[in-house]
Amino acid sequence: MKAQLPRWAFLFPGPATLPLTDPAMTIRHFLNTQDWSRPDLDALLAQAHVFKRERLGDQLRGKSIALVFFNPSMRTRTSFELGAFHLGGHAVVLQPGKDAWPIEFDLGTVMDGEAEEHVAEVARVLGRYVDLIGVRAFPKFVDWSVDREDRVLRSFARYSPVPVINMETITHPCQELAHVMALQEHFGNPGAPATDLRGRKFVLTWTYHPKPLNTAVANSALTIATRMGMDVTLLCPTPEYVLDRRYMEWAERNAGESGGSLRVSHDIEGSYAGADVVYAKSWGALPYFGNWAPEKPIRDRYRHFIVDEQKMALTNDAVFSHCLPLRRNVKATDAVMDSPRCIAIEEAENRLHVQKAIMATLAGS
């Protein structure tokens, strides 16, 4: 179906929406859930539920994955590394610019700067050693029109002879599946992968954080919640905190196809009212991207977006989650985090299971 006209203004003067995947790609990567069909995503989730019941397998026996971290990680690294181990494989952890060489991504450059190596060689050589490549590369937070091209991830996908997995760049698709899996566990029978989430009221609420953070998890939350047919509210302080047009359009299209809905709201009480799921995330407003000084006082005015018991009391006994790491008493109160309605730990655990499903699927056969 055609993308609908957005019902909100885009305050970021960015370029038109670009596809994030190269149509010429013949290798199947896991760059965004949006590239995958709903049945294929459901199959990944079904496999993840199986792995949660039975940890060990031999789907990756003798196989390996390179985990390329341009940014630090705790959960991502641990869950990928152990996931590979559980299935008989091995993960190699690389940190370019730290314990490996800095890398060039532009084509045709005369490489007389800092970078000692081009991604073409990095990806091609790694692809000779391993069966899968995971890439974590956050934005540089200088120019969103550059960062939104997801250049590092796409460069690896372009040159790699083996499948590439997004370990968080400007989206975080592994987190998406882990979140959906936790919701399926909560709303369905235990371990029931087919649990239908359609019609659930899902609130993605912006929260305060002292720094302007990446929009990746927010982009991903909108994308997957609409994909699953939920009625999604993006709650944020002002129109400036609306997400990039690409993800708003994905969410619009998804809602249209799945029978869900998408709206933007700046009204806290109205958004929480009757919610089944409250998902929290902080991010910097795109119109101030790379010029954060004037955004800081705006952000500071909205500390009251913190998820607390008063707000949660407005919901339909909603579950609360967050991708972690979470600053307690800044993004959510201790009471919310320690409540039995908090499924953030379950979601974090599910990273292990969904990533094993992704690795086993991509490296299989």
Binding residues: 73-76, 101, 136, 168, 172-175, 281, 323-324, 351
Using rule CB under 8 A, residue 179 touches a copy of itself:
no
Q: Please give the Cα distance from 357 to 207 (Å, whole number).
A: 31
Using rule CB under 8 A, residue 344 touches a copy of itself:
yes
Closest Cα partner for 175 from 120, 223, 113, 131?
223
Q: Please give the Cα distance from 359 to 365 (Å, whole number).
A: 12
**Element housing 234 (H / E):** strand 231-235
Using rule CB under 8 A, residue 75 touches a copy of itself:
yes
Q: Please give the Cα distance from 80 to 90 (Å, whole number).
A: 9
Which residues face 324 on adjacent strands?
none
Residue closer to a copy of itself by CB (options 39, 325) is 325
Burial 73-101 (b: 16+ CB within 10 A, else e): bebbbebbbebbebbebebeebbbeeeee
Using rule CB under 8 A, residue 328 touches a copy of itself:
yes
- Going edge to edge, which strands form the sheet with 64-69? 90-94, 64-69, 132-136, 164-166
DSSP state of 340: T
Using rule CB under 8 A, residue 167 touches a copy of itself:
no
Using rule CB under 8 A, residue 330 touches a copy of itself:
yes
**How many residues form the binding site for a copy of itself (CB under 8 A)?**
62
Q: Name which position in 27, 129, 263, 313 contacts a copy of itself (CB under 8 A).
A: 129
Q: Name which position in 32, 34, 81, 260 contacts a copy of itself (CB under 8 A).
A: 81
Closest Cα partner for 264 from 86, 11, 85, 62?
11
Q: Name which position in 125, 142, 192, 313 contacts a copy of itself (CB under 8 A).
A: 125
Applying CB under 8 A, the span of 12-20, 87-95, 183-191, 223-231 interacting with a copy of itself comes to 87-95
Instruction: Read off φ and ψ for residue 35, nearest 5 degrees.
Output: -80, -10
Using rule CB under 8 A, residue 144 touches a copy of itself:
no
Residue closer to a copy of itself by CB (options 20, 348) is 348
Using rule CB under 8 A, residue 121 touches a copy of itself:
yes
Residue closer to a copy of itself by CB (options 134, 287) is 134
Do residues 347 and 178 make contact, with C-beta atoms less than 8 angstroms apart?
yes
Q: Name which position in 31, 66, 264, 286 contacts a copy of itself (CB under 8 A).
A: 66
Annotated binding site for carbamoyl phosphate: which residue ranges? 73-76, 101, 136, 172-175, 323-324, 351
Using rule CB under 8 A, residue 108 touches a copy of itself:
yes
Q: Please give the Cα distance from 134 to 155 (Å, whole number).
A: 12
| Cβ-Cβ contacts under 8 Å for 300 (sequence gap 6 or more) | 208
Do residues 52 and 121 make contact, with C-beta atoms less than 8 angstroms apart?
no
Q: Provide the binding-site residues for a copy of itself, judged by CB under 8 A.
A: 55-56, 62, 64, 66, 69, 72-75, 77-79, 81-82, 85-86, 90, 92, 94-96, 98-101, 104, 107-112, 115-118, 120-122, 124-126, 128-130, 210, 324-330, 334, 337-338, 344-345, 348-349, 352
